[in-house]
Structure 1
């Protein structure tokens, strides 16, 4: 599949590896892919993110991702659903942090070094790459670019898509920024599959 990646998509994956290394994490996550896309200065994904105003709100986006990590990866929808059952996630996290230190839930999986030096992709990151291939094929594109990675990130349910949605970035808004089309343009259901 990587042979189909454009220079932009390859740079995104390489940047995600660097983010993972710099954070001392043992794997490459969807969050690393997003942070790498946000760091791109050119390409279709960079254009879409700039057009949607996300690059101007990077600090807010990173803070929201950090808060989601602090909550052990629970999405906003997860915490709302639990609140509906009378479970206060904030209180639970506060108790855990009281006992084990601030950021205790965010630290899981961090700091372990791999002997080979190679960091694997998490299942979520693999899903994004696979989704980007499906999106590219569905659009009739011969190669996989940063725009396909971005569309796959917003199509895949989870923390990254939730945080992007909170910042006004959805499959439909990205698709409009990239192609001038809306939800009827296809893709979201096929991409999420």
Structure 2
């Protein structure tokens, strides 16, 4: 299936992995796909997200909020006690090596979540539905929106985006050009 991806779409999938690694996640989810889409300026899908207030920074904040510890111990709460988690992480990694604090730290490629795999499959179906041979950034975003269960979809919905209007814009081809 990946042979049908445009260069932009391939770059987005690679960017999703890089985003997951940067956020210290142990998988590539739909949230990482939309983060990578937003991080690909000039793409139709990135433009459509940006027009709705979903910039790379806004999506990254939403991802961090979704991944925030549920036990109440977070960086803000600990900073009140003069504990800086970034400093702790840096010191531990300087002593024990990179990734020492990672749970389930993996070397190499991260696995795709079930929702991300399904979104990639649905991207192919979206391209076929639109009569297009190649899978581009629009199809990737349409696949995430069609899956309706992943964190990426939740981020878009929580931002108050009209999903039907976004899908219609993507179906029409948007306004930006893809590579």
After TM superposition, the score normalised by the length of structure 2 is 0.70
> Residue 134 of structure 1: which of 115, 125, 132 is its match?
125
Rounded to whole Å, the distance in 1 between the matches of 2:60 and 2:24 is 17
Shift in alpha-carbon separation, 1:67–1:47, aligned structure 2, 3 A: closer
Task: Tell me the equivalent position of 1:36.
Answer: 36
1:64 aligns with 2:62: yes
Q: Contact 1:6–1:144 (CA<8 Å) still a contact in 2? A: yes
Query: Cα deviation per residue 1:134-190 (whole Å; 9 max; x = unaligned)?
Result: 111111110111101111112222332122012233431222323459xxxxxxxxx
The 5 Å alignment of 1:43-192 reads: 43-55=43-55, 58-70=56-68, 93=70, 96-97=71-72, 101-102=73-74, 111-115=103-107, 117-158=108-149, 159-180=151-172
Q: Contact 1:154–1:161 (CA<8 Å) still a contact in 2? A: yes
Q: Which contiguous aligned blocks of 4+ residues in structure 1 show a shift greater than 4 angstroms?
A: none
Q: Which runs of 5+ in 1 are unaligned?
A: 72-92, 104-109, 182-193
Q: Which runs of 5+ in 2 are unaligned?
A: 76-101, 174-179
Q: Contact 1:4–1:142 (CA<8 Å) still a contact in 2? A: yes
